[in-house]
């Protein structure tokens, strides 16, 4: 059984007694900085000079410093920059990361694959909320908390776990429950989940379903509702009560279809393919290729991103969502969200 920590297992005063630098102010960064600030923690944000996020952080009442200065000022340094950028940013952090300080992550990638090698005299820990950054902030302001994971890679002070749990309480995670893990387990399961099921698997399933219906002559608008829009409604049921509650809520026709069709789609070959993904994650093949892609100009990444954005399911979705303003639809243009 995984060891779980809740609010009463964590002492907020530990992190309140520290100076905390949040490096990066993106999805996770803004949520950690603002939640900690609301929890009475002394927080500053470390950013590149001229970062587009500087104004956002300042408008939210946070002090912004260059990365190296923030690291020097802080006792606890949380690195919340994109994983492919973290090793570069860490070089600016390193001079300020003196003995007894704590280096933190929200994902174990750079420690697990050794692109960052902190000195032995600092604590290295992880608090990974199991949800997107924007939810980490929203749920916290509503009085709840996104559950999370905690791990300690290096415990130079002997207090690494207690401090990480205190941090987790400061951002609200202990309200939802925090499970203890290792950097290796967190990294490998996180990569597998997003590749096989959450992102890779689901997106591929949606596209394939849409293509089969439209190639057979059905209207794209109907196909969109069947394979993408309704997916949220189904996942919401699973989220609240597992597969059983989803099946309780759907018709018997849909439930029987689920039982007979599921195994015809996710065949033993698909499970074998998943095992292949896991092997590539575990032996470092995935990490090596991702790092290479980033070091060689991300041409493949940008090309695929563009091709994917041009898929017909995206075009029809954009049009349909315009007539559903209550969904709070958003559009991404040139890497930015526009309403």
Residue whose tokens read 């951002």: 171
Q: Which does 111 bind (CB under 5 to 8 A by kind): ligand NAD, Mg ion, none?
A: none
Q: What is the C-alpha end-to-end distance of the chain, expressed in Å?
A: 44
Measured between alpha carbons, how far is residue 126 from residues 164, 178, 283, 315, 326 in Å?
7, 11, 22, 39, 37
Specify the pairing of strand 4-5 against strand 178-181. Answer: antiparallel
Kindly write down the DSSP assignment for every residue of 118-155, as one continuous string: --TTSEEEEEEESS-HHHHHHHHHTT----EEEEEEE-
Measured distance CA(230)–CA(252) in Å, rounded: 17
Contacts of 279 (CB under 8 A, 6+ apart): 285
Q: Is 67 in the site for ligand NAD (CB under 6 A)?
A: yes
E-state strands within the chain: 4-5, 19-23, 42-47, 63-66, 76-79, 102-105, 123-129, 148-154, 178-181, 331-333, 336-338
Q: Which does 39 bind (CB under 5 to 8 A by kind): ligand NAD, Mg ion, none?
A: none
Q: Please identify, using beta-carbon distances, which residue of 28 and 166 lies nearer to ligand NAD.
A: 28
Residue 190 is labelled as binding a ligand? yes
Task: Give the residue closest to ligand NAD by C-beta.
Answer: 26
Binding site for Mg ion (CB under 5 A): 190, 194
Q: Whole-number minimum distance, CB 199 to Mg ion, in Å?
A: 9
Measured distance CA(284)–CA(336) in Å, rounded: 31
Is residue 67 a contact partner of residue 93, using CB atoms and an 8 Å limit? Answer: yes
Interface residue with ligand NAD among 128, 164, 206, 246 (CB under 6 A) is 128
Q: Is 186 in the site for ligand NAD (CB under 6 A)?
A: no
Q: Whole-number minimum distance, CB 149 to ligand NAD, in Å?
A: 9
Provide the token pair at 87: 């090793």
Q: Is 29 in the site for ligand NAD (CB under 6 A)?
A: yes
Q: Whole-number minimum distance, CB 98 to ligand NAD, in Å?
A: 20
**Sheet (strand 76-79) strand order:** 4-5, 178-181, 148-154, 123-129, 102-105, 76-79, 19-23, 42-47, 63-66
Q: Whole-number minimum distance, CB 189 to ligand NAD, in Å?
A: 12
Per rule CB under 6 A, count of chain residues that contact ligand NAD: 23
Q: Which does 85 bind (CB under 5 to 8 A by kind): ligand NAD, Mg ion, none?
A: ligand NAD
Catalytic hit among 107, 134, 229, 311: 107
Question: 81-110: which residues touch ligand NAD (CB under 6 A)?
Answer: 81-83, 85, 89, 106-107
Q: Please identify, using beta-carbon distances, which residue of 29 and 247 lies nearer to ligand NAD.
A: 29
Q: Please identify, using beta-carbon distances, which residue of 41 and 191 lies nearer to ligand NAD.
A: 191
Residue 26 is labelled as binding a ligand? yes
- Can you say whether residue 20 is alpha, beta or left, with left for phi > 0 and alpha for psi between -120 and 50 degrees? beta
Is residue 76 a contact partner of residue 97, using CB atoms and an 8 Å limit? Answer: no
Instruction: Decide if 311 is catalytic.
Output: no
The closest alpha carbon to 23, from 56, 58, 68, belongs to 68
Q: Please identify, using beta-carbon distances, which residue of 85 and 189 lies nearer to ligand NAD.
A: 85
Interface residue with ligand NAD among 28, 125, 154, 174 (CB under 6 A) is 28
Q: Please identify, using beta-carbon distances, which residue of 179 and 223 lies nearer to ligand NAD.
A: 179
Interface residue with ligand NAD among 6, 9, 19, 26 (CB under 6 A) is 26
Residue 51 is labelled as binding a ligand? yes
Q: Whole-number minimum distance, CB 86 to ligand NAD, in Å?
A: 7
Question: CA geometry: angle at 227 spanning 225 and 229, to 5°?
Answer: 45
Q: Is 80 in the site for ligand NAD (CB under 6 A)?
A: yes
The residues annotated as belonging to the active site are: 107
Q: Rule CB under 6 A: which residues touch ligand NAD?
A: 24-29, 47-48, 51, 53, 67, 80-83, 85, 89, 106-107, 128-129, 132-133
What residues form the annotated binding site for substrate? 251
């Amino acid at each position: 059984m995984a060891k779980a920590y809740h609010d009463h297992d964590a002492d907020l005063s530990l992190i309140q007694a520290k100076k905390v630098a949040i490096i990066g102010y993106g999805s996770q960064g803004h949520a950690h900085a603002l939640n900690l600030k609301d929890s009475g923690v002394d927080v500053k944000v470390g950013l590149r000079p001229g970062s587009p996020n500087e104004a956002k952080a300042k408008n939210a009442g946070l002090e912004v410093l260059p990365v190296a200065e923030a690291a020097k000022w802080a006792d606890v340094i949380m690195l919340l920059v994109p994983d492919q950028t973290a090793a570069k940013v860490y070089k600016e952090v390193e001079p300020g990361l003196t003995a007894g300080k704590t280096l933190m992550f929200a994902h174990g990638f750079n420690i697990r694959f050794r692109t960052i090698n902190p000195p032995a005299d600092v604590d290295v820990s992880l608090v990974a909320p199991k949800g997107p950054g924007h939810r980490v902030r929203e749920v916290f302001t509503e009085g709840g908390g996104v559950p999370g994971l905690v791990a300690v890679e290096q415990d130079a002070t002997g207090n690494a776990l207690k401090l990480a749990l205190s941090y987790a309480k400061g951002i609200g995670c202990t309200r939802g429950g925090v499970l203890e893990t290792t950097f290796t387990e967190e990294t490998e399961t996180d990569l597998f989940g997003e590749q096989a099921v959450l992102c890779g698997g689901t997106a591929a399933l949606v596209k394939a379903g849409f293509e089969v219906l439209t190639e057979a002559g059905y209207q794209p608008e109907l196909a969109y509702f069947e394979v993408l829009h309704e997916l949220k409604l189904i996942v919401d049921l699973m989220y609240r009560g597992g597969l059983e509650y989803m099946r309780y809520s759907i018709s018997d026709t849909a439930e029987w279809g689920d039982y007979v069709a599921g195994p015809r789609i996710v065949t033993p070959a698909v499970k074998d393919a998943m095992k292949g993904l896991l092997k590539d994650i575990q032996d470092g093949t995935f990490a090596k290729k991702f790092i290479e892609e980033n070091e060689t100009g991300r041409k493949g990444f940008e090309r695929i991103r563009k091709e994917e954005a041009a898929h017909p399911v995206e075009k029809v979705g954009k049009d349909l969502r315009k007539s559903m303003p209550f969904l709070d639809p958003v559009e991404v243009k040139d890497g930015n969200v526009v309403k």
